[in-house]
Amino acid sequence: MRKRFKSLFGLVLAVLCLTMVLTGCDGQGGANNKEEKVKVGFVYIGSAEDKGYTYAHDQGRLYLQEKLGDKVEILYQENVSDADNSSVAVMQSLIDQGCTIIFANSYGYMDYMHDIAQDYPDVTFLHCSGSKSADNMLNYFGRIYQPRYLSGIVAGMKTETNKIGYVAAYPIPEVVRGINAFTLGVRSVNPDATVEVVWTSTWYDPATEKQAAIALLDNNCDVIAQHQDTTGPQQAAESRGKWSIGYNCDTSEVAAKSYMTAPVWNWGPYYAEQVQKVIDGTWKPENYWGGMEDGIVALAPLTANAPEGAQEKVDEMTAKIMSGEFKVFQGPIKDQSGNIRVPEGTELTDEEMLSIDWFVEGVVGTISSD
């Protein structure tokens, strides 16, 4: 018995020695590299190859690398859950590896990042899609609801059954806002059409998303839109010979027979600008919510699947949105029970949009909450 403990003790000792040796090496190596380059860390909710939300962010990362070249070194970690505290360990690890700027791209990271920002006052934190900020943390997002409205126009002109399906992740304001904008777009060209919502409770799960789309197709929907990170819903629509609206990036190659267009992200310029500001020492925790006029969001080119006349209508509204002549959430807007929620002559403020918890008329579905 004693002998075994001796060997156990020896092993632990050996491991500890090894640790010290490695720690020594790391300290030296780190110091040499750190002097010139700024290390930037990205925390991704999905896979960089998802051809969806994370892919769009990863394109932004590549743009940042290309734009700033030798000035930055970028690390990223994929598939970090935002439904628990996994992101804490990942962010700590990235900071430990020398990152002084952290981008995290999913809503659920918000509270964890807000906590950790207090522990590392010298690190700059940028959180995508949330609402919290601090002296060294801002939140950023784009007005994706604008191109969503435009994609609604395309869907509304295309549908023959007047039933459009919408596969959605969580009933949080970001998603609700998107569904509302889309529905307003649909009904601006087709007042009889309705938008049926199915919740998946996941951002990223190809199988679940596909299944939800199939349920909608079975329910006689002939256009499928989505607030999901994969192309699952578009593939489901294709398999039934129906139509789809993508999200995040142009996926015309993935679902060539169903895909019509998609509201898309263009993160690159914003990422390059923010990192440059940190390098220059001019960075401020200013929350950002840019629209189509900034180029951070756009509607992808319409494909041949899109209905006739859609291009003209989209072009017209695009110009009006860009010039500020038209606001997506301008009155009169009714809610699901037919009550006027936004009277004529007024529009929703940013705060109201950021906390929106009701559906506009034409949406079939509920925001389940207690």
Partner 1 sequence: MQIVNRSGTSTKQIILIRFIAILAAIVVSSIFIGFLGYNPFTVYQNMLKGSLGSTIRFRATLLEMIPLVVTSLGILIAFKMKFWNIGGEGQILMGAFAASFVALRIDGIPDFLMLPLIFLAGFLMGGLWALIPAYFKARFGANETIMTLMLNYIALQFITYLQFGPWRDPKAMGFPKIANFPDSALLPKLFGIHIGLIISILLVVVVTWFMRNTKKGFEIAVVGESFATARYAGMNVSQVILFAMLLSGGLCGITGVIQTSGVNKTLTMNISSGYGFSAIITTWLSGLKAPMVLLVSFLFAILLQGGSYIQSALQIPQSAADVLQGMILFCILGSEFFVRYKIRFRKKEHPNNGGVSP
Residues near partner 1, by CB under 8 A: 5, 8, 11-12, 15, 18-19, 22-23, 25-26, 41, 47, 75-79, 81, 83-86, 89-90, 92-97, 107-108, 111, 170-173, 175-176, 201, 355, 357, 367, 369-370
CA-to-CA separations, 169 to 199, 229, 345, in angstroms, rounded = 5, 9, 32
Q: Residues 201, 170: contact at Cβ < 8 Å?
A: yes
H helices present in the chain, as ranges: 2-34, 53-68, 86-96, 110-119, 145-158, 173-189, 206-218, 232-239, 268-280, 310-323, 350-354
**Helix (H) / strand (E) containing 254:** none
CA-to-CA separations, 180 to 43, 333, 361, 365, in angstroms, rounded = 29, 10, 9, 12
Number of Cβ within 10 Å of residue 92's Cβ equals: 13
Between 323 and 369, whose beta carbon lies closer to partner 1?
369
Between 5 and 122, whose beta carbon lies closer to partner 1?
5
CB of residue 306 to partner 1, shortest distance in Å: 32
CB of residue 84 to partner 1, shortest distance in Å: 4
CB of residue 235 to partner 1, shortest distance in Å: 21
Between 20 and 304, whose beta carbon lies closer to partner 1?
20
Between 204 and 259, whose beta carbon lies closer to partner 1?
204
Rounded CA separation 115/73 (Å): 25
3-class secondary-structure state, position 39: strand
CB of residue 334 to partner 1, shortest distance in Å: 21
CB of residue 284 to partner 1, shortest distance in Å: 26
Between 201 and 220, whose beta carbon lies closer to partner 1?
201
The full length of the chain comes to: 370
Between 137 and 175, whose beta carbon lies closer to partner 1?
175
CB of residue 272 to partner 1, shortest distance in Å: 20
What b/e string do you get for 353-362 counting C-beta neighbours within 10 Å, with b at 16 or more? bbebeebbbb
